[in-house]
Amino acid sequence: MLRFRNWSALGVGVLPLLLMGGCPLLLPGGNTNTDPVAFTNASAVRGGLLYDKWWSVTGAAAPTTDHPLWASRPDTTSNARTDKDTWRCKECHGWDYKGVNGAYGSGSHRTGIAGIFGTTKTAQEVFDVIKTNHGFGAAGLTDADIWDLAKFVKTELIDTDPFIAADKSFTGDAANGQTLYTSGISGGLGCAVYHGADGKTINFGEPPDEEFVADVANGNPWEFLHKVRFGQPGTQMPSSVASGGTTQNAADVGAHVQTLP
């Protein structure tokens, strides 16, 4: 299950659907009783992968310049990332989807940009903001890609607070998490297949540095939770959401992994 990339290059992502100043807001918005067929047929799981690192999903070349809205972020000093990193949605809105009001409200990932959790924009409005106002259509994402992102935003954003405590510990059953880590969530492939029983088979760090799944789970549990739910872009890591797993299942896995070396 938990097949991550090199976590030392965590990068930035601008899907600034909610820039606080100078840019169109995703919140608030109108309501509709009818969603476009393209939205209905879209894949929220793929959208979760695109939110993470879209070019690894689409096969496109990584951007080599800053996102056009990056220079207008409210806090231009805390987060000094450049070029492709500024195109990753997660960097502005966070792995908890709360932007400046969440885990990325301080530290080197702070942009001052608001989150997208709880948006009341319609599916069509979210699509239009991503495609036009934020330039992802011009960047090469297809309408199908953007509908997948819109589906993710509208249907799969969760409040992470019930699953991750203020001290970064997962609110979960570690014993059940060990079972799921070994056997898989809802029939999915077990994490131990790739990461080993002790979580040390895959090193995300650049040797001689070491970084394992427990480091991720303890250091950035919101990222860990997102990866368990949607997978890792560009790898075969499965999505627990796709297999029918619950967020609590993923939190239980997190609680177990936090006990590993």
Per-domain boundaries in the chain = 7-155, 174-257
pLDDT digits (tens, 9 = 90+) for 41-54: 999 999 999 999 99
The pLDDT tens digits of the residues spanning 139-197 come to 999 999 999 999 999 999 999 999 999 999 999 999 999 999 999 999 988 999 999 99
3-state secondary structure the chain: CCCCCCHHHCCCCCCCCECCCCCCECCCCCCCCCCCHHHHCCCHHHHHHHHHHHHHHHCCCCCCCCCCCHHHCCCCCCCCCCHHHHHCCHHHHCCCCCECCCHHHCCCCCCCCECCCCCCCCHHHHHHHHHHHCCCCCCCCCHHHHHHHHHHHHHCCCCCCCCECCCCCECCCHHHHHHHHHHCCCCCCCCHHHHCCCCCCCCCCCCCCCCCHHHHHHHCHHHHHHHHHHCCCCCCCCCCCCCCCCHHHHHHHHHHHCCCC
Average pLDDT, the chain: 90
What average pLDDT values come out for the chain (261 residues) when binned by 10 residues? 42 38 41 80 98 98 97 98 98 98 98 96 98 96 98 98 98 98 94 96 92 97 98 94 97 98 94
pTM over 0.85: yes
